[in-house]
């Protein structure tokens, strides 16, 4: 019997649609440490969960919803047949970081799954992580490089998901790759932005080690634009890729924002989640967390900070968000996990002033209630303050998690590298070409904060263009945008 007819029978016979749970550490255990919360599937439960996939005919909604076009039905079929390594290979065809995406992706694929409406989607992300972990442990993800090198050299700036992807794609094509990272350890946002309880640092560092073994060089503690310029890199390398992400924190610019006890989310998460030996010297002190913590914002970062606060011993943790749940960005499942761990969320509220005590430490914030007005440029309804609704919320610690933008330094220090609003690099989404010859970019520094898998998808395209450029094929830099009207 052919594989196709087996699948056909399988589709017709499928009756058990109750989701098979993966193992998660109980709240009362996990909220006292920073270890990973999700322990995942066993081989038996993975087969059972993957068998729920009804192998939809093309076009499958799960696949269409995945920015990297992972062949999810094929991978799930292989898992249901017990072929875990085969499934891992399928994920690895389109994703350089399947064990990481499986852990942190908000699972757009699952939102598209046809089972979602009545039974709950197939747990694609956790299955992806399960098979990818096995494959890496078995050495299946070893990066093979051609014996014949091209002699071309590429500098990759940033070692987050986009940088690691470009590095892997190009080393596999025979180019020499050197990755520059501003932090002490490679991994970018994967190490410094995502807490350990969602993604253990070792998972990322294993990937870095594989790249090193393939010949990729990592130069850490080096901020391009400050310690070395793009012009200097262009003298040493044949092409430069910018995968610097969006790590600069937005501020609210309201009174009292500089009081002690108020942290940006990046500062807070690094001090709390990253081991001291991996933190820079100025971030050695852990954050001081009082009894009552307010986290301002509504995205994944806000949720991460709330869960971190709980682990640091805070008794009352409140996420304060200026819109309603319907407009909230980020992963809904993670939000529920955060609530399960004891945080609460106050919607339609925003601080307008932070109030300090006699020692200059925050002790309260003045909060205004909001209502939703007309949609703004993001398409979401704009929060409008309700006049006279201000009230005082007592707090001991505040964490600001209200948005991220790219480091403006590269645009400021690099001739002919055009940037636009909030320092985003002007780059063609299909090729990664920037306005500077030989310089390519993809990921959050081009489109703003987005998913790991979106950065990977853009980085694959940029790597293909860099390879074409290095082989002498013409890849035009995109023309600079017309001067902005003031």
List 37, 38, 66, 72, residue binding ligand SF4 (CB under 6 A): 72
From 49-57, 222-230, 243-251, 430-438, give the range in contact with ligand SF4 by CB under 6 A: 49-57
From 108-116, 185-193, 234-242, 447-455, give the range in contact with ligand SF4 by CB under 6 A: 108-116
Closest contact distance (angstroms) between CB of 44 and ligand SF4 is 20
Binding of ligand SF4 by 73 (CB under 6 A): yes
Strand 292-296 to 397-400 pairing: parallel
Cβ neighbors of 285 (< 8 A, separation 6 or more) are 271
Binding of ligand SF4 by 125 (CB under 6 A): no
**Residue number, 53 or 462, with CB nearest to ligand SF4:** 53
Of 169, 22, 167, nearest in space to 103 by CA: 22
66-96 in b/e form (b: 16+ CB < 10 A) is: bbbebbbbbbbbbbbbebbebbbbbbbebbb
List 27, 61, 234, 355, residue binding ligand SF4 (CB under 6 A): 61
Binding of ligand SF4 by 56 (CB under 6 A): yes
Closest contact distance (angstroms) between CB of 279 and ligand SF4 is 40
Please state whether 415 falls in left (phi above 0), alpha (psi between -120 and 50) or beta: beta
Question: Which stretches of 19-123 are assigned E, i.e. beta strand?
Answer: 23-24, 38-40
Q: How far apart are CA 483 and CA 422, in angstroms?
A: 16
List 20, 37, 47, 62, residue binding ligand SF4 (CB under 6 A): 62
Query: How would you list the strands of the sheet with 262-264, edge to edge?
Result: 262-264, 397-400, 292-296, 316-320, 344-346
Strand partners, 433: 440
Q: State the number of binding residues for ligand SF4 (CB under 6 A).
A: 14
List 114, 134, 228, 234, residue binding ligand SF4 (CB under 6 A): 114
List 75, 115, 179, 312, residue binding ligand SF4 (CB under 6 A): 115
From 27-35, 72-80, 280-288, 476-484, give the range in contact with ligand SF4 by CB under 6 A: 72-80
**Residue number, 15 or 326, with CB nearest to ligand SF4:** 15
Strand 292-296 to 217-219 pairing: unpaired
Q: How far apart are CA 82 and CA 43, in angstroms?
A: 8
Q: Are 304 and 272 in contact (CB under 8 A)?
A: no
Reduced to 3 states, what is the DSSP secondary structure of residue 162? helix
List 45, 51, 60, 94, residue binding ligand SF4 (CB under 6 A): 60
Closest contact distance (angstroms) between CB of 369 and ligand SF4 is 41
Closest contact distance (angstroms) between CB of 124 and ligand SF4 is 6
From 59-67, 136-144, 305-313, 415-423, give the range in contact with ligand SF4 by CB under 6 A: 59-67
Of 119, 130, 107, nearest in space to 44 by CA: 130
From 52-60, 81-89, 288-296, 404-412, give the range in contact with ligand SF4 by CB under 6 A: 52-60
Reduced to 3 states, what is the DSSP secondary structure of residue 4? helix
Closest contact distance (angstroms) between CB of 55 and ligand SF4 is 6
Q: How far apart are CA 42 and CA 22, in angstroms?
A: 8
Q: How far apart are CA 253 and CA 297, in angstroms?
A: 14
Strand partners, 215: none
List 113, 199, 400, 418, residue binding ligand SF4 (CB under 6 A): 113
List 20, 37, 47, 53, residue binding ligand SF4 (CB under 6 A): 53
Binding of ligand SF4 by 65 (CB under 6 A): no
Closest contact distance (angstroms) between CB of 72 and ligand SF4 is 5
Reduced to 3 states, what is the DSSP secondary structure of residue 249? strand
Closest contact distance (angstroms) between CB of 9 and ligand SF4 is 16
Q: Are 445 and 147 in contact (CB under 8 A)?
A: no
**Residue number, 76 or 242, with CB nearest to ligand SF4:** 76
Residues 154-193 that bind ligand SF4 (CB under 6 A): none
Element (H, E) at 469: helix 452-470
Identify the sign of the CA torsion 318, 321, 327, 328: negative
From 57-65, 97-105, 291-299, 394-402, give the range in contact with ligand SF4 by CB under 6 A: 57-65
Residue ranges that bind ligand SF4, judged by CB under 6 A: 53-56, 60-62, 72-73, 76, 113-115, 122
């Amino acid at each position: 019997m052919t594989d196709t007819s087996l699948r056909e029978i399988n589709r017709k016979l499928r009756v058990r649609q109750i989701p098979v749970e993966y193992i998660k550490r109980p709240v009362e255990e996990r909220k006292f440490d920073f270890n990973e919360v999700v322990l995942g599937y066993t081989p038996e439960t993975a087969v059972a969960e993957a068998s729920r996939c009804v192998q939809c005919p093309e076009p499958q909604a799960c696949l269409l919803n995945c920015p990297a076009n992972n062949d999810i039905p094929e991978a799930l079929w292989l898992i249901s047949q017990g072929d875990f390594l085969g499934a891992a290979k399928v994920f690895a065809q389109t994703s350089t970081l399947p064990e990481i995406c499986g852990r942190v992706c908000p699972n757009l694929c699952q939102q598209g799954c046809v089972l979602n409406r009545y039974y709950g989607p197939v747990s694609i992300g956790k299955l992806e992580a399960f098979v990818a972990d096995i494959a890496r442990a078995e050495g299946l993800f070893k990066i093979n490089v051609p014996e014949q090198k091209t002699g071309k050299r590429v500098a990759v700036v940033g070692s987050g998901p986009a940088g690691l992807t470009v590095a892997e794609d190009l080393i596999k094509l025979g180019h020499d790759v050197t990755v520059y990272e501003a932090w002490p350890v490679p991994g970018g946002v994967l190490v410094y932005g995502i807490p350990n309880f969602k993604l253990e640092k070792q998972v990322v560092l294993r990937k870095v080690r594989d790249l090193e073994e393939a010949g990729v060089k990592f130069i850490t503690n080096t901020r391009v634009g400050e310690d070395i310029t793009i012009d200097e890199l262009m003298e040493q390398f044949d092409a430069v890729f910018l995968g610097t992400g969006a790590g600069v924190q937005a501020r609210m610019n309201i009174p009292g924002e500089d009081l002690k006890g108020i942290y940006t989310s990046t500062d807070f998460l690094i001090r709390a989640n990253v081991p001291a030996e991996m933190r820079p010297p100025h971030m050695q002190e852990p954050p001081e967390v009082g009894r009552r913590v307010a986290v301002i914002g509504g995205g994944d970062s806000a949720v991460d900070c709330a869960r971190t606060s709980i682990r640091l011993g805070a008794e009352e943790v409140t996420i304060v968000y200026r819109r309603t749940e319907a407009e909230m960005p980020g992963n809904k499942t993670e939000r529920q996990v955060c609530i399960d761990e004891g945080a609460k969320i106050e919607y339609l509220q925003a601080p307008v002033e932070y109030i300090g005590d006699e020692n200059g430490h925050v002790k309260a914030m003045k909060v205004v209630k909001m209502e939703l007005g007309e949609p703004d440029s993001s398409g979401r309804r704009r929060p409008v303050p309700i006049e006279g609704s201000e009230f005082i919320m007592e707090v001991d610690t505040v964490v600001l998690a209200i948005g991220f933008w790219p480091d403006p330094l590269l645009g400021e220090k690099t001739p002919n590298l055009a940037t636009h609003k909030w320092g985003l690099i002007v780059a063609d989404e299909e090729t990664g070409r920037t306005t500077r010859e030989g310089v390519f970019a993809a990921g959050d520094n081009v489109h703003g904060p987005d998913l790991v898998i979106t950065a990977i998808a853009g980085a694959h395209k940029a790597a293909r263009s860099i390879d074409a450029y290095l082989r002498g094929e013409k890849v035009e830099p995109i023309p600079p945008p017309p001067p902005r009207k003031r």
